[in-house]
Amino acid sequence: MKEKRAQDPNDPVLPAVEERELVYGGLEAGLGEVFEVPIGPIHPALKEPIRLTFKVRGERIVGVQVRTGFAHRGIEFMGMRQGRNLIQILYLSERICGICSISHPIAFTQAVERAAGIEVPPRAQYIRVIISELERIHSHLLWAGVAAHELGFDTLLHLTWRVREKVLDILEELTGNRINYAIPIFGGVRRDITPDQYPKVREALRYYRGLLNELLDAFLRDPTVEARTRGVGILEPKEAEELCAVGPTARASGLRKDVRQDRPYLAYPDFEVKAITPEDYGLTPMGDVYDKIVVRLLEVGQSIEIIEKALDNMPDGEITSFPKIPALLAHLKKAEGEGLGWHEAPRGEVIHYVRLVSGEESPLVWKVKAPTYSNLMSWYPMFEDQEVADIPIIAACIDPCICCMDRVYLVRDGKEEILTKEELLRLSWEKTRRMAR
């Protein structure tokens, strides 16, 4: 039947090359064609809703489109619509993100304090630093576990999440909750660290200090992890700079960029934080996933040092300049002006802008910039020319926090053309013809 059809002059004969590709490619169509692989918004790899549409040629990714907005809750709008006072908005700011649940309140309180001219007592600044560094330990361990899971290395996931429980216990001891600590308030903090809590925190820090080398070994000396992460998802330093990557994503590419170093705030000038890059571990920064693991694990060690130093040098005194909430609210209602607050969250820089007007309880303007918002663009160079199987780890390597940033709609077409309806039809016809033969 095949021979009979091939003799028909009206029926085009497919070239022999394409036949061969058909066999070796293992796909219905030839290797040269680009397919779209939609992932999300609900998918098992990332817990949060985001839609990634990959264009793949065979196993290689040639383009990606990111569609966000599934977790958009209109938080800034709720803060600005004159229904809530600033303390209620503080609780709202905490629920921007459950993992960086002290980063947003710290940036927000700083912005409001600058706008309203409120001083923060030194002890309160130290407590804020301690809690935010504890949060960094918990967040980086969480990420390390998720990264191990994306590689299919579930033993390591369970190991890191087991040791992570210790820092959650300490956070619960200090603040009253495992997640969403509600520690900063305008002019200070809500809870003091009592003398009997010091040894508990120190004990946890000793635990992590002893564990850190073990963790570094488990991740960085493991041949499986190295094989799956070395040279995968590379972000060149130049690209990181051009795309304004922040946090560990930028630092893994060798950029010494850290808000705690560049614009010290709260008590951070006392600790002289230096941005960590893979160079500190004796590696040349490549900007791949491996380097991101290095940076995040080293930052756990850095956080331990900062907390120890903070506990040693903790100043005495008040923990808030406004012990009475009605007085604080009255002061905030009279305040007028604008303020900017920033913080180095585990994922990068968080910036809050607030404009207060006298006589109003809520701010006139509240603008939030979350770290994932800056880091999302670095997905594009990272995904280019990678394998489909590497999608989960590359997607996870910027530590995306969709709930923080969900407000934008990004589209960038790769170098490939989008298949038009006519082309799709043509493909369909060709397939029918092949099958009929």
Partner 1 sequence: MGLSAFKRALWVFHVATGSCNGCDIEIVAALTPRYDVERFGIRLVGTPRHADVLLVTGPVTRMMAERLKRIYEQTPDPKAVVVVGGCGSTSGVFYESYNVVGPVDRIIPVDVYVPGCPPRPEAIIDGVVKAVAKLEKLGAKV
Find residue 54's DSSP bridge partners. 37, 64
Task: For the CB of residue 55, give the shortest distance to partner 1 in the complex, in Å.
Answer: 23
Q: How many residues bind partner 1 (CB under 8 A)?
A: 40
Helices (H), 186-288: 198-220, 223-229, 237-242, 247-252, 259-262
73 binds partner 1 (CB under 8 A): yes
Task: For the CB of residue 135, give the shortest distance to partner 1 in the complex, in Å.
Answer: 12
Q: Using an 8 Å Cβ cutoff, are 141 and 299 in contact?
A: no
Sign of the dihedral through C-alpha 139, 65, 250, 259: negative
Interface segment toward partner 1; rule CB under 8 A; list 90-98, 207-215, 356-364, 428-436: 90-98
CB closer to partner 1 out of 157 and 382: 157
Task: For the CB of residue 66, give the shortest distance to partner 1 in the complex, in Å.
Answer: 14
Task: For the CB of residue 183, give the shortest distance to partner 1 in the complex, in Å.
Answer: 15
For partner 1, the binding residues in 103-142 under the rule CB under 8 A are 142
Task: For the CB of residue 10, give the shortest distance to partner 1 in the complex, in Å.
Answer: 45
For partner 1, the binding residues in 356-415 under the rule CB under 8 A are 401, 403, 406
Rounded to the nearest 10 degrees, the angle between the axes of helix 103-116 and helix 122-150 is: 150
97 binds partner 1 (CB under 8 A): yes
For partner 1, the binding residues in 11-50 under the rule CB under 8 A are 41-44, 47-49
240 residue type, one letter: A
| DSSP letter, residue 279 | G
Exposed/middle/buried for residue 384 (C-beta within 10 Å: 0-12, 13-18, 19+): middle
**3-state secondary structure (DSSP) of residue 302:** helix
Q: Using an 8 Å Cβ cutoff, are 248 and 347 in contact?
A: yes
CB closer to partner 1 out of 38 and 231: 38
Task: For the CB of residue 399, give the shortest distance to partner 1 in the complex, in Å.
Answer: 11
CB closer to partner 1 out of 92 and 319: 92
Interface segment toward partner 1; rule CB under 8 A; list 89-97, 260-268, 303-311, 332-340: 89-97
For partner 1, the binding residues in 269-328 under the rule CB under 8 A are none
| DSSP letter, residue 390 | G
Exposed/middle/buried for residue 194 (C-beta within 10 Å: 0-12, 13-18, 19+): exposed
CB closer to partner 1 out of 161 and 281: 161
Helices (H), 81-121: 86-94, 103-116
Binding site for partner 1 (CB under 8 A): 41-44, 47-49, 69-75, 77-78, 81, 83, 91-92, 95-99, 101, 142, 145, 157-158, 161-162, 165, 168, 178-180, 401, 403, 406
